[in-house]
Amino acid sequence: MKRSLPFLLATLALIAGACGDDDDSTADTASVATDAPVATDAPVATDAPVATEAPAPTEAPAATDPPATEPAGTEPAGSDDSADGEELSLATTDLGDVIVDDEGVTLYMFMPDAQGDASQCNDDCAEAWPPVSAVQSVEDGLDMALVGSITRGDGTTQGTYNGWPLYYFSGDSAAGDVNGQGVNGVWWVLDATGTPIGA
C-alpha cells in the first residue's frame, strides 16, 4: 500500500525521536557521579603553651655579722673587782664574833693608828699586814655608818671601820684563823661595834 511522503517523514521522525529518547534515557539513567566528599579542614593547630618565665631567684638573706662576744673568762671593760672593795661580815671564832671579809678571812686593827686618818703600817709592816681595800658594803650585824676610808702614803685607799684602818695578817692561812690576835700587844680583832677585842 502506497503511503504518502508526509506520512513516511512523520514515521521517520518518530523513529528518530525514539532513538534519541533511548540515548537520552541512557544518559539520564547513567549513574550521576556523586560529589567527592568535601575535604574537611584539618584541625587547627592549637598554639603551644606559652612558656612561663621562671620565678626570679630570690636573694639570699644578707649575711649578718655574729654578735660580738667577749672571750670566756674575760671581764667586761671597766670592771675592776678590787675597785669595788670588800664586803664585811661577822664570823664566830674562839674570840667571839669578829669582823671578817666576804671570804671569812679575819681582819685586824693596829693600835698605833689610834683611830687616826693615816696608817702607821707601811713598807715591811704592810707586807706582813696587808691593808684592806675600800669597803663597799656590810652584812647584817654590822653598821654601814661606821664604814670609812683613808688614803695611804702610796695613794691607795684603805677601808676603815669605826675609824680603825683594817688589815689582814699574812700568818692566817684559812677563813676563821685568828693568828694575828695580840701580836706584839698592838694587833687586835674587832667586834661588831668596831671595838678591839682583848686590847
- Render pLDDT for 6-36 as a digit per residue (tens, 0 to 9): 665 666 666 655 555 444 444 444 444 444 4
What's the CA gap between 22 and 180, in Å, rounded?
165
Banded pLDDT at 117 (limits 50, 70, 90): confident
Predicted confidence (pLDDT) at residue 2 exceeds the cutoff of 70: no
In the prediction, which pLDDT does 114 show? 84
pLDDT at 119 over 90: yes
What pTM does this model have? 0.59
**Within a 13 Å sphere around the CA of 68, how many CA atoms are in the beta-carbon half?**
2
* Cell numbers standing for residue 114: 689610834
Q: What is the mean pLDDT of residues 151-159?
A: 95
Q: What is the mean pLDDT of the chain?
A: 76
Strand, helix or coil for residue 13: helix
Provide the residue ranges of all domains of the chain, joining segments of one domain with +: 86-189
- Grid coordinates belonging to 150: 683613808
pLDDT value at residue 16: 55
